[in-house]
Structure 1
Amino acid sequence: MRAPAGSVVGLCSASATLCAMGMAFLGYWGVHEPVPWRGLDVAVIVLAFVGFGLLASVPWIVTTPVSEESGERIGAARRAFAGGVVVIWFAAVLAIIG
C-alpha cells in the first residue's frame, strides 16, 4: 500500500479543520445554555451532527485500501466532504437566522 499524497492529505486535513470549526461554532452558539431547546435548536444540532459524520468519514473513505482495478476513492471522499460542508453551513445559517 502506498503512502497518501496530494489530494488525500488535503481532504483529510480540510475535513479535520472544518470539524474543529463546526465544534467551535456549536460551543459559541450556545448548546450548553440552560434554557429549554426549541425545535429549531434540535434541527441545528441534528444537521451539525450529520455534517460532522460526513466530515469525519472523509479520512476513512479516502484511505480505505482498494484494489488496483477499482481505482482510488477520492471521488467518494470529495462528495462526502462537500456534503459535510453544505450541511454544516446550512446548520450555521439556520442558527443565525432563527
Structure 2
Amino acid sequence: MRAPTGSIVGLCSASATMFAVGMAFLGYWGVHEPSPWAPRDVAVVTLAFIGFAALGSVTWIATTPVAEEEAEKVVPARRAFVSGVLLIWLSVLVSVVG
C-alpha cells in the first residue's frame, strides 16, 4: 500500500486542526460548567459533536485502501471535511447569536 501524499496529507492535517479549534471552542464556551443546560446549549454541543464525527472520519475515509489504482477517496473525504467545518461554525454561530 502506498503512503498518503499530496492533498490527502493536507486534508488530514486540516481536519485535525479544525478538530482542535472546535475542542478549544467548547472548552472556552463552557461545556464543563455546572449550571443546567438550556435547549440552546444542547443544540451547540450536538452540532459540535456531529461536526467532530465528520472531521474525525476524514482521515479514515481518505486513507482507506482502494482496490483500483486510479480510485481515490479524496472527494468523499473533502465532503466530510466541509460538513464538519460547517457544523463546527454553525455551533459557534448558535452559541454567539442565541
With structure 1 as the length reference, what TM-score do the two structures score?
A: 0.97
Counterpart of 1:42 in structure 2 is: 42
Distance apart, 1:69 and its partner CA: 5.8
Counterpart of 1:72 in structure 2 is: 72
Structure 2 distance, partners of 1:43, 1:94, is: 8
Distance apart, 1:34 and its partner CA: 1.2
Counterpart of 2:6 in structure 1 is: 6
Of all paired residues, the percent bearing the same amino acid is 63
- 1:82 partnered with 2:82: yes
Amino acid at match of 1:28: Y
Amino acid at match of 1:78: R
Structure 2 distance, partners of 1:65, 1:75, is: 14
The unaligned stretches of length 5 or more in structure 1 are: none
Q: How many residues align?
A: 98
Amino acid at match of 1:27: G
Distance apart, 1:88 and its partner CA: 0.4
- 1:32 partnered with 2:32: yes
Q: How well do the aligned residues superpose, as a CA RMSD in angstroms?
A: 1.0
With structure 2 as the length reference, what TM-score do the two structures score?
A: 0.97
